Amino acid sequence: MSKQVAIVTGGAQGIGLGLTRALLNAGYAVAMFDLNGEAMDRLVAEAGAQAQSLMGVKVDVTSAEQVSAAVAQVAARWKTPDLLVNNAGLTRDKRLVNMSEADWDLVLDVNLKSQFLCAKAVVPGMIEQGFGRIVNISSRAWLGGFGQANYSAAKGGVISLTRTLAIELAKHGITANAIAPGAIDTPILAPLSDEQRAKIMATIPVGRIGKPEDIAHAVLMFADAKASYITGQTLYVCGGRSLSSPSA
């Protein structure tokens, strides 16, 4: 495989699907790691000439065994990945008093633990090849948000994890950076009413809700081989929305 190889967790939908498409168009071979096997099968079937550069691996990214088997599958079909985008995530918003231990564990596992597991699985190969790019998706909500004790803590953990990866891996030609999106139009926003969407829009100086392509643009910047001096950073992609007040 002469192409660069990327893994996108949660790559079958929303921001992840935007990343999958943008990376394919940028010439990467892309492996989607997602729970939604049907969606990945459909995407590969619809990929036409790009199908040979696209694979879907049905994997729960909170499982160490499944993650290491999935990374081995990618390396066996193509090569050691050059880029890992840790994007899979979900919310279970509830006020603290109503938040169960299961709500806490699920959100921490999918948003944070998965990033540790995927990094641990790809890094040995990246060290061996002397090159790697890791981009971890956090959220502007790491600043704190009503009903988001679990999600905010997980997304703050993503930023801490990223800084540590950057420090540990710098000498191996591997960078690690985080992206903190604001509101991006994906199925994760589906539960919002028109009124709630309008309220969010009013706080965004750019005057629109973000699109998956906005995040893909930032990922491609961090992934560039020329971006070797950019590591440990968190880039807010949120249309200029204030970082001083907690999201409500």
Give the Cα-Cα-Cα angle 181, 158, 84 (nearest 5 degrees). Answer: 80
Question: Which residues lie closer than 8 Å to 100 by C-beta, 6 or more apart?
Answer: 94
36 binds ligand NAD (CB under 6 A): yes
Choose between 73 and 234: whose C-beta lies nearer to ligand LJSYBKHK: 234
Which among 138, 146, 233, 223 has a CA at the least distance from the CA of 181?
A: 138
Distance of closest approach, residue 145 Cβ to ligand LJSYBKHK, in angstroms: 5
Q: How far apart are the first and last CA of the chain?
A: 46
Q: Which does 174 bind (CB under 5 to 8 A by kind): ligand LJSYBKHK, ligand NAD, none?
A: none
DSSP character at residue 113: I
Determine whether 151 is an active site residue.
Answer: yes
In the shown chain, the binding pattern of residues 45 to 74 toward ligand NAD, with x for contact by CB under 6 A and - for none, equals: --------------xxxx------------
DSSP 96: G
Q: Which of residues 81-140 bind ligand NAD (CB under 6 A)?
A: 87-90, 110-111, 137, 139
Residue identified by tokens 């699985």 is 121
Beta bridge partners of 29: 5
Nearest to 215 by CA among 22, 78, 84, 24: 22
Residues that bind ligand LJSYBKHK (CB under 6 A): 91, 139-141, 145, 182-183, 188-189, 247
Q: Known catalytic residues?
A: 151
Q: Which residues bind ligand NAD (CB under 6 A)?
A: 9-10, 12-16, 33-36, 59-62, 87-90, 110-111, 137, 139, 181, 183-184, 186-189
